[in-house]
Amino acid sequence: MKADKITEKFKKTGKKMAAFGRTFRISFLLLFLAALTAAAAIFLSWRYLTNRYYLSRYAQGEYKVGTEERLVQTINRPEGYIAAYNVGNGYYKTGNYERAEAYFRYALTLDIPEGKECDVRVNLALSLIGQIDFEGLETNDDILYAIRILEEAREVLLEEGCATDENDGHDPEAQQLKNEIDKKIEELKEKLDQDQGDQDDQDDQDDQQDQQDQNQQDQQDQQDQQNQQQQNGSSAKEQKIKRRLESQEKDIQKERQQQQQQKEGEQAREEAREQASGESGGSDGGNGSAENGNGKIW
């Protein structure tokens, strides 16, 4: 009997311990859930107050995105897109369109409530357009780049039906912006066609001018060739005349030499006759023959 009483006592003690264990686990779980709920409430309150502070400064024209940007790096639930969206707006207001584009694209990767996505897409499209320097579109390459960016912004608005080609998008602002983008694209394409036409006209004028210059050059070459031929012909004629004159001069000199030789020959003959005549006169009037004279004939 005593053993039965002890066994019964242990059973009652075990039941009490089991009940205590269940109560302890339930209490611990409730405390954990309460702490987790409190932490979540504190975080959400901090997030809410941070957003409200950022928006209040934003409304006053102060676009300091540092605190809000840190929110993006923390838990992104719930409505985590709001921080990225706000940071994108801040960068857009300061003219940093590339950073704004990055945050708007990031916001689109997060859970966005129905009806809010088009707001993000509109701002993303605007940040793309902001990167175009419409005043500096000087070359066809610049215009083509602008058209490509505008078409990219247009596709952003067409996604999810925010805007449509049929003009019945479910977001009026997105549809209006898409229509304005279409008009700008057409305007740039017309300018591109006009510039291309002007370039073609200029190329035609350049070709015509080149042809005229070539024709003038050909005419000049032809004239130079004719002048050279005439000059060569004149030179040949002059050379011929020169040779003729030289030949005549030689003939004259030869004739003069012959005349001089003939004159000298006549003079020599005349002198010989005179000498012969003188010797003949001396012999007739002398004093005797040669044998008897004082001179000697050699």
What's the pLDDT score for residue 295? 40
Residue where the block lists tokens 């044998």: 291
CB 125 within 8 A of CB 160: no
How many angstroms from the chain centroid is the CA of residue 190?
A: 22
pLDDT tens string 15-36: 656 665 666 566 666 666 665 5
pLDDT value of residue 158:
97
In the chain, where the domains are located: 14-113, 119-207
| CATH match of 14-113 with 1.25.40.10 | yes
DSSP codes, 214-272: HHHHHHHHHHHHHHHHHHHHHHHHHHHHHHHHHHHHHHHHHHHHHHHHHHHHHHHHHHH
Please check whether residue 170 is in contact with residue 161, taking contact to mean a CB–CB distance below 8 angstroms: yes
| Half-sphere exposure for 144 (CA within 13 Å, toward CB) | 6
**Residue from 228, 34, 89, 248 nearest 240 by CA:** 248
Q: Kindly give the parts of the chain with pLDDT less than 70.
A: 1-79, 197-204, 231-234, 278-298
> What gap in Å lies between CA 181 and CA 154, rounded to an integer?
7
Residues 225 and 217: their CA atoms lie apart, in Å, by 12
Q: Where are the alpha helices (DSSP H) in the chain?
A: 2-59, 66-72, 81-93, 97-108, 117-129, 140-158, 172-284
Q: Report the alpha-carbon distance of residue 211 to residue 208 in Å, rounded.
A: 5
Q: What was the pLDDT predicted at 173?
A: 96
Residue 77 CA, distance from chain mean position: 47
85 contacts 104 by C-beta, under 8 angstroms: yes
pLDDT of 294? 44
The single-letter code of the amino acid at 79 is: E
Type of residue at 109: T
Residue written as token pair 């003690």: 13
CA distance 105 to 84: 9
pTM of this structure? 0.51
